[in-house]
Amino acid sequence: MNEQDRPPRRTAANWVLAGLISAFGMVVFVATVLDGRADSALLFVLLPTALAATLALLPGRTAHGRVFVITTIALLLAAVALHEGAICVILAAPLVYAVSHGTTALIRALRDASRPYAVIAVPLLLLPGLEGSGPAPRIAPDQSVEVVRVVALPADQVATRLAAGPRPVPVRSVPLRLLGVPTPGQVSGDGLDPGDRWMFGYHGSAHGPGGHLLAEVETVGVQRVGFRFVEDSSITARWFRWRHATLSWRAVDGRHTEVRIRVDYTRGLDPSWYFGPIQQVLLGAGTGHLLDMMALR
């Protein structure tokens, strides 16, 4: 067997790195338990720490293999450190992998082409990710999502059920369930008259303290109601900020009604070309969940 064909061996550096990762994980684990979150310490601290330490003991055979291991370890440790913001790490992971492996491939290609001076082009790959970092401006942070649903109810019954206000229901959206996106666990309020308020309460979880969102009827028209958001201490405020919502409905025929809800929000994550579409999908699913809470079935 040739020297280069032999599988790579663990070195002292691998063991040192695994030891440092384990020590970091134990410190965070103890701090999490002392903070009263022992229920989530195993899942959000111990498990990713164990995975990161195991990866540290796996020497990479190729450049891309080593980059994958290092990137994965960094993401796992970031999830441990952020804890409540682990969902952000999950959403950003594909982008991080793409940038790290793309940069590696470009550097190798330039090296093989014997043009080392071309490496100065590598930082240009990072420019699209600088949006919102300070010197780079944010691009179109104000977004909106609209969900339309035709229900088997006459328009007058739809109006009655909407006026009764939303009520908590199980989440049907697969993306919301898979990511564990926080959804309202306590809802109160009713009415479609100016000044009426709906409150959406979020239970505390591994993602952090719950908080609540308070919406108030601002404008009323013919089969149309506009809401403004007067208070938002909910856990979702770290990812986006609600600005305005419009709820409308119209009769399709004597037994069917089209219900439409449009939500305007400000995106909290950058870059826009990556997180913009992701938040559009998740907010669309969340808006659909709001319609589920209106008992329009």
**pLDDT tens track for 183-198:** 898 999 999 999 999 9
- Return the pLDDT at 83: 62
Share of the chain above pLDDT 90, in %: 38
Whether 238 contacts 265, CB under 8 Å? no
The model carries a pTM of: 0.74
Residue 50 makes CB contacts below 8 A (sequence gap 6+) with 25
* Mean pLDDT calculated for residue range 110-139: 66
- CB count, 10 Å around CB of 14? 16
Residue 149 makes CB contacts below 8 A (sequence gap 6+) with 258, 259, 260, 288, 291, 296
Whether residue 271 has a cis bond before it, omega within 30° of 0: yes
Quote the distance between the C-alpha of residue 115 and its chain's center: 40
- At 80, which helix (H) or strand (E)? helix 63-82
- Return the pLDDT at 232: 93
CA 173/CA 28 separation, integer angstroms: 32
Dihedral sign (CA 20, 22, 27, 28): positive
* Mean pLDDT calculated for residue range 266-272: 88
- Interaxial angle between packed helices 12-34 and 47-56, expressed in degrees from 0 to 180 and rounded to the nearest 10: 170
- CB count, 10 Å around CB of 241? 16
Give the up-direction half-sphere exposure of residue 56: CA atoms within 13 A in the CB hemisphere. 22
- Return the pLDDT at 24: 87
CA 13/CA 23 separation, integer angstroms: 15
* Mean pLDDT calculated for residue range 123-127: 64
CA 118/CA 91 separation, integer angstroms: 32
- Return the pLDDT at 1: 44
- Return the pLDDT at 3: 43
pLDDT, the chain, mean: 84
DSSP code of residue 1? -
Whether 128 contacts 103, CB under 8 Å? no
- Return the pLDDT at 38: 64
Dihedral sign (CA 134, 136, 137, 139): negative
- At 217, which helix (H) or strand (E)? strand 212-221
